[in-house]
Amino acid sequence: MTEHPPRTPLAVRDAAHVIHPVTAPREMTDLGARVVVEGDGVWITDDRGRRLIDGFAGLWCVSVGHGRREIIDAVTAQMEELEYFTTFHGQSHPRAIELAEKLASMFPPEYELDHVMFSSGGSEANETNIKLVRLYWAVQGQDQRFKIIARHNGYHGLTIATMTATGIMPMRWNFGPEAPGFDHVAAPYCYKCELDLTFPACGLACAEEFARLVEREGPETIAAFIAEPVIGAAGIIPPPPGYFQRIREICDEHGILLILDEVVTGFGRTGTMFGMEMYDVRPDIVTLAKGITSGYLPLGASVVNAHVWDTISTRLPDQMPVSHGFTYSGHPTCCAAALANIDLIERDDLVANARDVGAYLQDQMRERLGDFESVGDIRGIGLMIGIEFVADRATKRGFSRPHQMCAQVEFEAWERGLYCRAMGMETVGVAPPLTIDREIADRIVDILAESIAAVEADVMPRERALGPKSESERVGSAAELFAGMTAKFDPARAEGVDLVVQFALTGEAGGIWRIAVRDGALDVAAIEAEDPDAEVTLRATAADYVRIANGDLSGADAFTTQKLVIEGDLGRAGALGSLGLM
């Protein structure tokens, strides 16, 4: 394994002042940021002078590659002509008009996606969509129809509302109370199905779960269903065939609007201009960002179906505005960047390149990486590809320490000249600029092979020893598990710990158990009803928690597939784990 180098001077300065999104603060203090100082085409250069392949296009963004003169010149010209003006209160400017026209022209005419509201990025655009959907129903006198249905593992942003729509649980911890009016259903994650089924015999049970939720909650309460065409941040998970057709059918049956979050999949990344084309699904509202400007400037867009917009615009009372927007909505310079960027994508036929080179890259990955002991699944579409790692391929068991394998592969790859991304589901994601060729694709696979080999040599011997427990160590029931906790308890490790956690286990042989650690002592008790004073509540079926205790199912896997739900402070739950009690 490669040792982490000492922090550079820029990294030291960074740690003193910069707060990084979705980053553990201690990592910046201990290891420091990786500081990028230059970009050129598919390449970036760090502050150590090393040249790397930008294998994640910044953050899914840089579709046309770094340093494109056409975008830089368009931005410069716009800054000289009109650097900023507002679209609030009925004002406009040529670039916003031109970009709205261009976006409307890019969708099938029969979808009537012809009205656009601009924002500064994907979170803002999804926030806009949620508000427009609720406004659409409210002006029809149906303000009880406000619930937004999303999916486990979906990502839609990190504002309070979009965070609540996001189904990646660690991204929601300690930011409560969450916004009301959101619910989640199973993701179409076939490799580790949270419903314990197999496609196609499952009959698209994950989509049918949406139908059951509508029936349970009442269609008159459901405003919209929101989904990424391909689940992105949680691990690059394409849906199975027929999934979106069934989702659309359910929406149409009950008059529910469908929001497609194309922030990642838009503008060519899937090998089609938009993910909706890949899966032949008609949305009512589309979320755009990232690839709309290739990340050169911040911009998001909500593209709204004519019926939705006409309903809002004709039913609002006279002189009543759509009371929503952002200071930089339709920023002239950002719109100019988007127009130049889309022109490059179309002119250079980058959609076809993403399709062709993406297929080649996936083939090479499967051929050259598929036999690694830790590689469980290689999946993707176009130039968004995920490699999911497992501690045991036969059982798909995850690692004892969540995120360790993918994070170490990301580090090793960086040291060898590739930026890839450690993602959810113990997955390394590859999503380079759409301009890459087969030579770069081969180099990406070379580096990944070297990196995985290095990490496996360090991690896998330890993980093999942490597999399913021996017969003498196994427990047969939840009651047996909790009865045996006292014997495993080490008072020395509990010094200074003050913690109350409860396990609410359902199904056969389930029940509620409260674990209290105070003054170096442990108290384990079965209780009749949940304790409102418990700091953390863990929910699972009794059968699944016994599987976790016996090492047949990793806690990380149970958590990511929603078999284990943790309510409360994740850090406090981790304290119980450090005592060997979870």
The CATH number for 217's domain is 3.40.640.10
Cis preceding-peptide flag for 239 (omega within 30 of 0): no
Domain span at residue 558 reads 478-578
Mean pLDDT is lowest, of 363-367, 413-417, 442-446, 571-575, for 571-575
State the pLDDT at residue 345. Answer: 98
Q: Are 59 and 74 in a shared domain?
A: no
Summarize pLDDT for 64-73 with one digit per residue, the tens.
999 999 999 9
Q: Are 412 and 485 in a shared domain?
A: no
Cα 542 from Cα 537, distance rounded (Å): 14
Q: How many C-beta atoms lie closer than 10 Å to residue 495's C-beta?
A: 9
User: Does residue 473 lie in a domain region?
Assistant: no
For residue 428, the 8-state DSSP code is: E
Of the pLDDT bands very low, low, confident and very high (cuts 50, 70, 90), residue 582 is low
User: Does residue 27 lie in a domain region?
Assistant: no
Average pLDDT value over all residues in the chain? 94
Q: Looking at 347, 366, 386, which one is the last position of a domain? A: 347
Q: Are 265 and 313 in a shared domain?
A: yes
Summarize pLDDT for 77-123 with one digit per residue, the tens.
999 999 999 999 999 999 999 999 999 999 999 999 999 999 999 99
Mean pLDDT is lowest, of 42-46, 154-158, 170-174, for 170-174
State the pLDDT at residue 98. Answer: 98
Q: What is the CATH classification number for the domain harbouring 502?
A: 3.30.1050.10
Q: Are 426 and 496 in a shared domain?
A: no
User: Does residue 114 lie in a domain region?
Assistant: yes
Which residues, other chains included, contact 105 with Cβ-Cβ below 8 Å and sequence gap of 6+? Answer: none
Q: Are 151 and 246 in a shared domain?
A: yes
User: Does residue 6 lie in a domain region?
Assistant: no
State the pLDDT at residue 581. Answer: 67
In percent, how much of the chain has pLDDT > 90? 78
Cα 190 from Cα 194, distance rounded (Å): 8
Q: Are 133 and 191 in a shared domain?
A: yes
Overall number of domains in the chain: 3
The answer, yes or no, to whether residue 371 has pLDDT greater than 90, is yes
User: Does residue 536 lie in a domain region?
Assistant: yes
What is the number of alpha carbons within 13 Å of residue 50 lying toward its C-beta?
14
Pairing of strands 285-288, 257-261: parallel
Q: Are 343 and 214 in a shared domain?
A: yes
Q: Are 105 and 232 in a shared domain?
A: yes
pTM, 2 dp: 0.91
Q: Are 405 and 444 in a shared domain?
A: yes
Of the pLDDT bands very low, low, confident and very high (cuts 50, 70, 90), residue 540 is very high
Give me the mean pLDDT over the 420-435 stretch: 95
Of residues 465 and 329, the one with the higher pLDDT is: 329
Q: State the alpha helices, DSSP H only, in 265-371.
A: 275-279, 306-315, 332-347, 350-369
Summarize pLDDT for 323-342 with one digit per residue, the tens.
999 999 999 999 999 999 99
Q: Please list the residues that pair with 149 across neighbouring strands.
A: 183, 225
Q: Looking at 320, 347, 374, which one is the last position of a domain? A: 347
User: Does residue 37 lie in a domain region?
Assistant: no
Q: Are 79 and 192 in a shared domain?
A: yes
Cα 390 from Cα 554, distance rounded (Å): 10
State the pLDDT at residue 493. Answer: 77
Q: What is the CATH classification number for the domain harbouring 429?
A: 3.90.1150.10
Summarize pLDDT for 18-60 with one digit per residue, the tens.
999 999 899 999 999 999 999 999 999 999 999 999 999 999 9
State the pLDDT at residue 381. Answer: 98
Of 427, 412, 273, 405, give the one whose Cα is nearest residue 352.
Answer: 273
77: tokens are 């010209």
Q: Looking at 464, 493, 524, which one is the last position of a domain? A: 464
Q: Are 493 and 539 in a shared domain?
A: yes
The answer, yes or no, to whether residue 472 has pLDDT greater than 90, is no
Summarize pLDDT for 519-532 with one digit per residue, the tens.
888 888 899 999 89
Q: Are 539 and 444 in a shared domain?
A: no
Give me the mean pLDDT over the 182-193 stretch: 96
